[in-house]
Amino acid sequence: MRQFKSQAEAEAAGVHVSKVKSFVKREGRLTKAQTRAIEEFWPTMGIDYQDAELDLSVLFGRTAPVVIEIGFGMGKSLVEMAAAAPEKNFIGIEVHRPGVGACLAEAGEQGLTNLRVMDHDAVEVLKNMIPDGGLSRLQLFFPDPWHKKRHHKRRIVQPEFAALVLTKLQKGGCFHMATDWEPYAEHMAEVMNSTSGYANTAQEGTYVPRPEYRPITKFETRGQKLGHGVWDLIYERAQ
C-alpha cells in the first residue's frame, strides 16, 4: 500500500484517512435494563446529533443556565448533580452506550426533566450544535489522561479545544476540569494559562478545592484511601 507523507496528500489522492478523535469509541455490551432505558427515555431525554445549532430554551421548554458534562461515564454523578440543581439544565455527552443507558435509567427512575443526553463526539457537538455564549459551565471530570508521551496529542484538553470552549461559555461561565493524574493536571493548567480570555478562579496556586456541586465518586474515594490525589481546575471566561 502506498505511504503518504501527510493526510492532505492522502486526501488529494482520494484516499480516506480517519482523523484522530479525543476519545476511543467503546460500544460495550448493553444490559437488558440499559436497552429498555434507551428505548423508553431516549425519545424525551436523548438528543440526536445534527449539523445544526440547538435552541436550548426550546430543548428544555424553559430558559435556564445550561451545564454540559463531557464523558459522564455511567451517569450516576451527572444525575445526582441534575437532581440537586433543578434550577439548571444539564446536557451529558458520552460515547459509551452502556453508560448512556445507565444514565437514562437512573434519570428516568428519578423523573428528572432537566437532563438531556447525547451519544456523539463532544467536539463536533460543541462546534456545530451549541450556540456561542450558551453555557454557564462545561464539566470535564476524569478524562482519559493518555499516560504515554506519544499519546499526549490524544488528550482532549488542547489549545484548540480550550479556545472552542471559551466561545461556548457565557461571560463569567466556567470550564471545570478534574483529574486524578497530576501530570495531566499540570498539562491542563499549562493549556488554560496560555489561552487568552480565561481567568483561573483559584484563590491560591493553580487548583481549587472540590466544589460541593461535584459529587465524590466511589472511584475517587477509593483512590484517596490509597493516597491518590485529585486536582480540580476551574477557569472562568473573563471576556
Contact 198, 233 (CB under 8 A): no
Write phi, then psi, for 179 (nearest 5 degrees). Answer: -150, 150
For residue 48, indicate whether it is catalytic.
no
User: Residue 226 is placed in which grid cell?
Assistant: 490509597
Look up cell 480570555; give the residue: 197
What grid cell was written down for 67?
451545564
The x, y and z cell numbers of residue 121, run together, are: 463526539
Half-sphere exposure of 18 (CA within 13 A, CB side): 4
CB 100 within 8 A of CB 94: yes
Distances (CA, A) of 35 to 42, 122, 216: 10, 22, 27
From the candidates 48, 51, 144, 180, give the one annotated as an active-site residue.
Answer: 144
Torsion, Cα of 78, 216, 235, 152 (10° steps): -90
Q: Which residues are catalytic?
A: 144
